[in-house]
Chains A and B, each alone.
Chain A
Amino acid sequence: MTFAIHAEGLTKRFGDNQALAGVDLAAREGTVLGLLGPNGAGKTTAVRILATLLAADSGQATVAGFDVRTDPRRVREHIGLTGQYASVDDDLTGTQNLVMIGQLLDLRGVEARRRARELLEWFDLTEAADRMAKTYSGGMRRRLDLAASLVGRPAVIFLDEPTTGLDPSKREDMWGVIRNLVADGSTVLLTTQYLAEADALADEITVIDRGRVIAGGPPDQLKRVLGGQRLSVRPADLGQRDELRRLLAVIGHGEPAEEGRDGLTVSVEGDDVLPDVVAALRSAGIRVTELSLHLPSLDEVFFSLTGRSEAAHQSTDRTTEKEPVA
């Protein structure tokens, strides 16, 4: 198996802060690896090391087959980087931004301009091509930023929280772009705090927290490993709710939890549990308006892994992941 990104035992310390404490990552060619974790987990640090912007204290990593420590220049020939904050040049127009990157990648003037035009068109920025980037909306800046990282047709693309701060419809657009990149053969490392985003895009997910990998695998497997499936039931008659609760406690694992206004949910094992549930409900005479079996959401997975709810992370200080400047 060929890995486009492969890292073993990466560590990095900033002063008293152990940003990475031995992280392993692997992404097969032509797939999306989702790097998921709360703010301050070390996601950005890991990306910066893989993109040769930062040297790890220990551990080793290869990107596109080249060692980031001994062969950084080769690595840079094969990567595209889109940072957490759009790193386009405000005082340059969209075209100037992209042509400049093309020229720095040794495209001839004509080629660089043609490539810029293609990318602007692809990202729906043709009309804004000759406007300074400072006049762009947040979504347009993100698109220009992503376009800038694609000028050299990189084999490996690092997207560090590409949709943070975008509204939901713009986020879906960005997802479409990322899917297309992968369809064209690129490998993508995507960091995100949005579980739905990792779920929607990633072939493999690595969850990190406080500089350590705490779980990894394909999204479905990750969900299954963590507590099997969830059974959700809503009684037709609220008076039967306590009776339903006792019944679910017998069928499932652990205490049934409240769900929504008057539903109950419990984790169950096995794909063939549903007929038994139906039979048990019938013999107990409990009528239900809703009955479903599904894998837990990544939110629930994340909660059970870290013991903290993602909602709580969202409100934590965004600066915690920023690396102190030397």
Chain B
Amino acid sequence: MTLTTTAPAELSVSAPTTAEGDRPTGPRALRHVLVLARRNLIKTIRTPEQFIDVTLQPVTFLLLFAYVFGGAISGGSRHQYLEFLLPGMLGQSVALGSIALGQNLKADIEKGVFDRFRSLPIARSAPLVAAVIADFARYLLLCVILVGFGYVMGFRIATDPLSLIAALALSIAFALCFCWISVFVGMKARTSGSVQGIMFLLVLPLSFGSSTFVETSTMPGWLQAFVKVNPISHLVGAVRGLMLGGPVGSNLAWTFAWMAALLVVFVPLALRGYARHA
């Protein structure tokens, strides 16, 4: 054992101190976030099962809905239903995909890793912001897989590639706002397992009670009222418009409004929950 030897004396890197002494700002804070985001990416890549919810799961949903319900829902034209379904699936999948984030954060806290981060002179928000940013990679993968698989099944965009990219960018941007709900639940839930339970309760009504799977006009009036304010409906409407053509404006505006609202409400709540976490 070399444990009993003293620390090498030539180490004279002085303990880092901030010149301004106050909260880390600007480039320093950004660097901390990137270092932590890299950690999250390494962790995700090393546990491939973490990708199931953004790869196999949406593909399974796509297959089930297109081939099991597709014929009945569309009244025969499976291809027509696929055109309708796939843009909608993006909204549902990013909402479901956000669940893992809160779960992982809670697991990190349970393990004590975040105690170490909290004892370092970095911004308290850095670990949370980093986790959200690292989730970007998962959502990107989700988009590529879903659209790629849809293409194999026969889906074709009716607009241009630029609109497709805009649609995917919008979905990912929405995901990065929506996932703060998951972060917040992760800060509040008692275990990482209960994060999943709580988020499912929230995400399932939001994703099915939307225009994702069937036309809103087939639903009872009270449900239509819910579907019309549902942020997922607005996202899906905007994505459909961008991929298949048709009006986009109002849905896009509503989607942006919802994104802003999600950030304004859930980022401070999540940060407060995190700061209070004993």
| Residues of B in contact with A, size category | 35 or more
Interface residue? B23 (CB, 8 A)? yes
Chain B residues with CB under 8 A of A80: 119
Chain A residues with CB under 8 A of B115: 53, 81, 83, 87
C-alpha gap A85/B109 in the complex (Å):
12
Of residues 94 through 148 on chain A, the ones whose CB sits less than 8 Å from some CB of chain B are: 96, 100-101, 103-107, 111, 115, 118, 121-124, 132, 143, 148
Residue of B22, B120, B190 with most chain A CB atoms under a 10 A cut-off: B120
Chain A residues with CB under 8 A of B23: 73
B238 to chain A, nearest CB (A): 36
Interface residue? A166 (CB, 8 A)? no
Contact B121 A73 (CB under 8 A): yes
Chain B residues with CB under 8 A of A76: 119-121
A120 to chain B, nearest CB (A): 11
Q: Given A53-B118, A100-B35, A173-B4, are A92 and B42 neighbors across the interface (CB < 8 Å)?
A: yes
Chain A residues with CB under 8 A of B35: 100, 103-104
Chain B residues with CB under 8 A of A84: 112
Q: Given A86-B112, A118-B8, are A176 and B16 neighbors across the interface (CB < 8 Å)?
A: no
Interface residue? A306 (CB, 8 A)? no
A45 to chain B, nearest CB (A): 9
Q: Is the interface of B mostly helix, strand, loop or mixed?
A: loop
C-alpha gap A103/B121 in the complex (Å):
11
Closest A residue by C-beta to B273:
A326
Interface residue? B32 (CB, 8 A)? yes
Contact A85 B16 (CB under 8 A): no
Contact A77 B18 (CB under 8 A): yes
Chain B residues with CB under 8 A of A184: 6-7
Interface residue? A51 (CB, 8 A)? yes
C-alpha gap A96/B43 in the complex (Å):
11
Contact B3 A105 (CB under 8 A): no
Q: B21, B36, B278: which contacts A325 (Cβ < 8 A)?
A: B278
Chain B residues with CB under 8 A of A96: 39, 42
Chain B residues with CB under 8 A of A90: 111
Closest B residue by C-beta to A134:
B46
C-alpha gap A107/B35 in the complex (Å):
12
Contact B15 A52 (CB under 8 A): no
Among A151-159, A220-228, A281-289, A313-321, the one that faces the other chain is A151-159
Write the residues of chain A forming the contact surface with B, with a CB cutoff of 8 angstroms: 14, 48, 51-54, 73-74, 76-81, 83-92, 96, 100-101, 103-107, 111, 115, 118, 121-124, 132, 143, 148-149, 152-155, 173-174, 176-177, 180, 183-184, 323-326
Supply 21 A–B pairs (Cβ within 8 Å), ascending by A. Answer: A73-B18, A73-B121, A76-B120, A77-B17, A85-B111, A88-B113, A89-B43, A90-B111, A91-B42, A104-B120, A107-B13, A122-B2, A122-B3, A124-B3, A152-B120, A173-B1, A173-B3, A176-B4, A183-B6, A324-B278, A326-B276
The 5 closest A-B pairs by CB, nearest first: A87-B112, A176-B4, A81-B119, A76-B121, A91-B43
